[in-house]
Amino acid sequence: MHDIEPFYGWREHYIAAEDRQSPFYGKVYNEFTFTNKVYNYFIHPQWDDIGTESMFVKVLFVDYIEQFCIIELIGEWNDCLHNDIMFLKRNVIDKLVDLEIYKYVLCCDHVLNFHSSDESYYEEWYDDIKEEGGWICCIDTLQHVKVEFESQNIQYYMNFGEQYDDINWRKIKPKNIIIEIERRLNSQTRALH
């Protein structure tokens, strides 16, 4: 896992460590020392610690005008043992919601497993953003992780599934990711009516 770097293709447009409003503002990264681990496995030093030993993140892009954020995740999303959603919500998301960020893309291709606890933090996050037309969307989620999400009814708070897994997000601009997700969300809503 140590050679899996967070996506760096948008660094010319946004760097969380240089954004005064970012929860990771001012962080200095050591490219030569691997100190963070997901359990016993060292991970690349560019990933950001949110306070749990099982999941790390990278805020890839924030647009304060368009009110969206794209976050890449790595590790095991373990709410059961480590309450990862609480750490993500309190240490990252709450700060962004306070800045009126209401649309969240979670890039989940490096999320290896999901172990649930209760739904309260997901529900709180959804409640924080729904009045503003906000949403949470997981993209590139591994099949067994989607099954684990569904078994715990996470779909009531976050969007995920096959319809969000073929977005080639590393090849397009952040704004176009949001446009594409919203197009798919709207077509899904129309299909339900």
Amino acid 30: pLDDT: 86
Amino acid 1: pLDDT: 67
Single pTM value for the model: 0.95
40 pLDDT band, cuts 50/70/90, is confident
Q: What are the structural domains, with CATH classification, of the chain?
A: 61-69+76-192 (3.30.750.24)
Contacts 24+ apart (CB under 8 A), 118-123: 118/79, 119/152, 119/153, 119/154, 119/156, 119/157, 121/79, 121/85, 121/86, 121/88, 121/89, 122/85, 122/154, 122/156, 122/157, 122/158, 123/156, 123/157
Mean pLDDT of 158-173: 95
22-37 confidence digits (pLDDT tens): 999 999 998 778 888 9
Mean pLDDT of 83-109: 98
